Structure formats: structure tokens, C-alpha cells
Structure 1
Amino acid sequence: MVIGITGPAGSGKSTVAHFIKKLLLKNVQIVEVDRVGHQVLTLFFVQEELREVFGEEIFDENNILSRKKLGEIVFKDKEKLEILNKIVHPEIFKKTKEILNKSLKKSDIIILDAALLYKIGLHILCDKVIFVDAPKEIRIKRLTGSRKIPYQKAKSIVDSQEGEYFGPYDFIIYHDNGFEKLEKQIREILKKLGYLKED
């Protein structure tokens, strides 16, 4: 089974994915689509396309693409973010599909941890989708705390996802009030999917 986990930045998607892995004794693999995106940015033809659109300023003195510089440009400008997405999303889809095809042979459950599950089109590869949400201030706090992102950048990331489409989904989890409540919600979903026994 392939479970997609989606939701805005800082909502706790990775936490939910790792909780599922911990609660199930089955062979669970987590695919972090963010990391796949980082790999895609190292591809030569992708970098050349980005160079044409965003210029030399996104590369450092060693001609290495700076995700930091690229992020500073796109998270302030929705149009530029859309251009970036059009370049990288098809490659992310292709690479994720390749990973899934290999992993399905050896894993019982694969979790796709992807904020932009629908935007990239990855939902069509999922059997079930879980949407994780949390209030805006909590999300910003998580990004600045656990991920050590400066406040202004964290706010830009959260603001850039305002109005983003995260559905439809099969289940929703509110990660706004500690791990006990979170685990309870995850257990309920896993029972409905037949992976945990009813109490």
C-alpha cells in the first residue's frame, strides 16, 4: 500500500510518517519527496533551465546551485515559484515513481511525505491520502524551532502556501496539541485501514 501524507510546511507530516512506521511492525518505507526535489536540483539539464530563468545569481562562486538563494527569490514571489515548480515537478514525479516501483517489491507500506502531493500529481500513485494540518502560528514556530529557519523566511514559506490545494484526502490529522492526541488520531486511521486491531 502507498500512503500519501500531505499538508502545509510545519504541519508535522514527517512526524506522522515516523509515528506510522513506529506503530506498525510491517516493513514500512518513508519517501521524503523534499529530498527527491533536492536530488532533482542537481541534474544538469534542470540547472541549465533554472540558470536561463533565474540567472547566475542562484549559483555560488563554485558554480554550485544555492537552494538558499533560489528559495529567497521564489518564496517572495508566487509567479516565480510557479515557474520553478513547472521546471522541477515533472522530474520529481518521474524520480518518485522510479523509487516507488523499486520499493513496492520489498516494502509492505510506502509513505510518500509530500507537501505538494497534488500539485506534483503524486496522488495518483497513492492508495490513501492523509492530510496533516496545524494552525499557522504553530507551523511557523516549528519551522523556526526544529528546523532552525529564520522567522522571516519561515513566515514567507508558510505565506507562500496560503490557498494551496491539499485535497481531496481520505483522512485528516490535526497536529496542534501534543503527541498523545496525535498518536490517538494515527491509531484510529490505522485501525480503519486494517493495520491495527480494534480495542
Structure 2
Amino acid sequence: MFVVGVSGGIATGKSTVTAIMKEMGVPLVDADVIARQIVEPGRRAWTKIKTAFGEEVFLESGEINREALGKMVFSDAEKRKIINKITHPEIYREIQWQVLRQFLRGEQFVVLDLPLLFENEKFASYLYKTIVVACEDEIQLDRLMARNGYTQKEAIARIETQMPLEQKCKMASFVVENSGSQAATRVQVEGIVKYLRSSRQHLYLRAVWGGGLALVLGLIVALLMYIYS
């Protein structure tokens, strides 16, 4: 099995692209979903956040007030480092488990939906291909303001915290241009999925991993025979 990474800029329409992939039966591991799950009440990251930031970032229900926490860490680099140190290891651990489960199911490939794919190189060496979802700057700004209720100044500030979209596009294997209609976006996504499904990379990886596993097992058997002979 090979792994494909999909990313983009904030409000460029990544969720639209991954929704199309899901409809096509592509297995997907969504880092945003995992990020919400690992901070559910009682979870390890939830407890650490409560210790580090106090009650002011929690709702009466015990759930994290994501808006309050977001504003706090967005305006303070040190607090942002703290929250990343708490959540990132938990997120990456769960991503690895979910990818492993897809491998054990015998999937040809899995798509890893990771917003900060290029900002964080942790998974870069594991990716066969990368996809970036892009759109025109003005459209991105308008979408973000409409979606989150930000002022223009707030929206620009959020966009500028990320790696420039143009730079991500240069680093990607595929770019999905999402400035137009959903039908136009779908055509692009279907073409990429068709390409991935035609790949034989998974067979090569299975041969490599299978050969390596056979070698390890052979060495273990030989060692046991030597010990007990």
C-alpha cells in the first residue's frame, strides 16, 4: 500500500475534494477529525490542555471551546508551541494506527488529509504522491470570511500564518484548481484517482516489505534453531 498526502490553504476547498474521493471509495485518514477526537473530554490531550490553559478554554459541558482556545494560541507563539506539543504526538500516533489498519485491510493506497502537510515533514518520506487544493487569492479570502465570520483583516492574518499557497503548489505532485464549479473540480479529482488506481507502486512496496519480513523471520528461525540445537 502507498500513501498519498492531500493539503491546501485554509478555505481553498480541501473538504470538497476529499468528499469526492470518499464518494469514489478512496480510503481516507482525516487529521482534522482526529484532532477533534483526541481532545474529547477525558482523553489524555484534554487533561493536559486543562492543566496548561485552565478552565477559560472549556465550555460548561466540559468540551474544549475551540474558538476561545484558537484565539488564545493564535495571538501567542509560546502558547501555540504548548498546544502543538500536547496535541501533535497524539494526532500522529492515531494517524499511524489508521494507516496501518488500511494496510492490513489490503488497500491499494490511502489518502492522508493533513492541513499542514508541507509545514511538517514528519510524513514526507512516507508519501508516494502529494495533492494540493488551490484557488484564487480573492476567492480564498471571501470563502474564509463567509465561513468563519472573520473580518478581512482577521482572514488575511489567518492565511498568512500558513505557508504560501503558491509554494505548496510548486511542491505538489498534483494541483486541484478549485476556483470554478464543483463539476470542474470533480473532473480533476476523478482524473487523479484514476491515475493512482492505475499505479503499481503498491505491488513494489508489498514485494519490498514482504521480502524484508521474510528475511527477518528467516533470521529468527535460524537463531532459534541454533539456540536449541
Give TM-score scaled by structure 2 length: 0.69
User: Which residue does 2:27 correspond to in 1?
Assistant: 29
- Percent identity among equivalent residues? 28
Is the Cα–Cα contact under 8 Å of residues 134 and 178 in structure 2 kept in the other structure?
yes
Query: Structure 1's 32 and 185: CA in aligned 2 closer, same or farther, altered over 3 A?
Result: same
Structure 1 runs (4+) greater than 4 angstroms displaced: 153-156, 162-167
Query: Structure 1's 14 and 62: CA in aligned 2 closer, same or farther, altered over 3 A?
Result: closer
Residue type of the partner of 2:31?
A: V
State how far apart, in whole Å, the 2-side matches of 1:195 and 1:39 are.
Answer: 34
Task: Please show how residues 20-59 of structure 1 align to structure 2 within 5 Å.
Answer: 20-22=21-23, 24=24, 27-42=25-40, 44-59=43-58
State how far apart, in whole Å, the 1-side matches of 2:194 and 2:44 are.
Answer: 45
Higher helix fraction (1 or 2):
2
Is the Cα–Cα contact under 8 Å of residues 20 and 186 in structure 2 kept in the other structure?
yes
State how far apart, in whole Å, the 1-side matches of 2:184 and 2:63 are.
Answer: 43
User: Which residue does 2:207 correspond to in 1?
Assistant: none
Q: Displacement of 1:19 after TM fit?
A: 2.4
Task: Please show how residues 17-166 of structure 1 align to structure 2 within 5 Å.
Answer: 17-22=18-23, 24=24, 27-42=25-40, 44-106=43-105, 107-118=107-118, 119=120, 121-145=122-146, 148-152=147-151, 154-161=155-162, 163=164, 166=168
Q: Displacement of 1:156 after TM fit?
A: 4.9
Is the Cα–Cα contact under 8 Å of residues 89 and 120 in structure 1 kept in the other structure?
no
Query: Structure 1's 44 and 185: CA in aligned 2 closer, same or farther, altered over 3 A?
Result: closer
Q: Displacement of 1:163 after TM fit?
A: 4.7
Aligned residues: 191
In the alignment, does 2:178 pair up with 1:179?
no
Give TM-score scaled by structure 1 length: 0.77
State how far apart, in whole Å, the 2-side matches of 1:29 and 1:9 are.
Answer: 22
Report the aligned-residue RMSD: 2.9
Unpaired runs of 5+ in structure 1?
none
State how far apart, in whole Å, the 2-side matches of 1:161 and 1:78 are.
Answer: 14
Q: Displacement of 1:161 after TM fit?
A: 2.1
State how far apart, in whole Å, the 1-side matches of 2:104 and 2:57 are.
Answer: 39
Query: Structure 1's 62 and 191: CA in aligned 2 closer, same or farther, altered over 3 A?
Result: closer
Comparing 157-166 and 97-106, the one that deviates more: 157-166
Q: Displacement of 1:101 after TM fit?
A: 0.7
State how far apart, in whole Å, the 2-side matches of 1:184 and 1:44 are.
Answer: 40
State how far apart, in whole Å, the 1-side matches of 2:13 and 2:49 are.
Answer: 30
Find the structure with the greater CA-based Rg.
2
Q: Displacement of 1:62 after TM fit?
A: 4.4
State how far apart, in whole Å, the 1-side matches of 2:116 and 2:197 are.
Answer: 27
User: Which residue does 1:7 correspond to in 2?
Assistant: 8
